[in-house]
Amino acid sequence: MAQRRTTLTTRALTGASVVVLTAGAALLPGAGSATAALASAAPKPDATQAASTAALVAQLGDRAAGSYYDAAARHFVVNITDSSAADQVRGTGAVPRTVRYSTTQLRGVLSTLTQRARIAGTAWAIDPRKDKVVVTVDPTVTGAKRTRLNTVVKSLGDRVVVRRAATAFKPLIAGGDAIWGSSVRCSLGFNVSVNGAPYFLTAGHCGNASSTWSDSQGGREVAQTVNSHFPGADYALARYDDANSDHASVVDLHNGGSQQITRAADAYVGESVQRSGSTSGVHGGTVNGLDATVNYEEGSVSGLIDTDVCAEPGDSGGALFDGDAAIGLTSGGSGDCSSGGETFFQPVPTAVSAEGASLP
C-alpha cells in the first residue's frame, strides 16, 4: 500500500505488516490552514536558558515567585520577593522583577480552591506575569455553584483574578476519524519506546474509552491500551501489536512536512508552542500557566499546562510541541478554532517518567 500522509500517518508496507503511526491525526476537509497555524515567529530562548532559569527559581525557593519568557524583550523574567536576589537573577541573564506574592502564598490559594471550590466547570493556575492565581469559569457554573465560588474567591482577595470561558470545559473526544477506538476517535500524541518495544502516548480519557486502537475506522487492530490515567492525570500508554513496527518520532505539520521529535521537555510560561490534532490540524499559541487544575464533569485533573492554543473534539491526545521537544498531550478545554479557546495539556515528561518510556 502506498504511503498515506495524514497527521495520524499510517503506512502499511506490503508483505512486512509494518504500521507507522505519526504523532497527530487526520486533517479533515475544511479544517484550519496548516500554514496559518504554525507557531509565531517570536524569538525563542534555547533549552539551556529555560533550564537554567528553572533551576535558579528552584534554588531561590520562596525568594522567587515563578518565571516567564518575555518574547518581545527576548529574555526570561524571574519574579522575586526579596530584592537582595536581584543580582543573582541578573547573573543568569534573566531580568528580576519584584512582586508582592510569593510562590508559597499563591500555592496556598490553589490549596484553598482545591479544598473549597472544586466545582465542575472551573479551572485555575498561577500566572507569574500577573503574580496571581487566574480562575476561569465556564457558562455551566451558575446558581448555588457560582455563589459558592464567589464566596471562596472573595475570601482570597486580590491574589485571585476571575475570567469567563465562552463554552464549557470538556475533554476533547469525538467519534469519527484518526486513531479509532471501539466507539471514539482521538489523536495520537507521541510514539515512545518501553524496554525497546514500540508504544504511543495519547490522552487518558481516550485510553479509558477504548482498550484497542485501529489506524482506520472499522479497520484491524494495531495497538492496545495497556495503562490509562483519568481523572487525576490525563495520559494513556498503548502498545503496538507488531513489535517490529517502525514508529517514527515525528509530528505531521499538515503542509507536506513533519517535525522530528528528539526529546521531552517541561513547558514554561510565555513559551510559543504548536498543537497537532485529528480534527483541526496544527495551531499555535502560548503557554499561560503551569500546574493547572481543570474540573471536568468527569472529575478533576491537576498538573496541566494552560494555553491559549485552540482545539476541538477529536483533538484529544494530540501532540503539543516546541521544535524538536515533546511538551504535552491534549486534554480538554473551552472554545474552538474559529473563535479561539483555552486548552489544557498533560505534560509529556510526567507521562514518560511514570511509564518508564523514552522517545524512540
DSSP 39-99: PP------HHHHHHHHHHHHHHGGGEEEEEEETTTTEEEEEES-GGGHHHHHTTT-EEEE-
Contact call for residues 359 and 261 (beta carbons, < 8 A) = yes
- Burial track 253-279 (b if 16+ CB lie within 10 A, e otherwise): bbeeebbebeebbbbbbbbbbbbbbbb
- CA distances to 8, 180, 192, 241, 309 from 202, rounded to whole Å, are 12, 12, 11, 16, 18
Type and span of the H or E element at 35: helix 34-37
Tell me the Ramachandran region of residue 215: left when phi exceeds 0, alpha when psi lies from -120 to 50, beta otherwise. Answer: alpha
Contact call for residues 172 and 316 (beta carbons, < 8 A) = yes
What is d(CA 10, CA 88) in angstroms, rounded to the nearest whole number?
A: 51
Q: 470561558: which residue's cell? A: 165
Phi and psi angles of residue 234, each rounded to the nearest 5 degrees, phi first: -150, 70
**Residue 15 CB partners (closer than 8 Å, separation 6+):** none
Contact call for residues 357 and 199 (beta carbons, < 8 A) = yes
Provide the 8-state DSSP code for 283. E
Write out the catalytic residue numbers: 205, 234, 316
Provide the 8-state DSSP code for 219. -
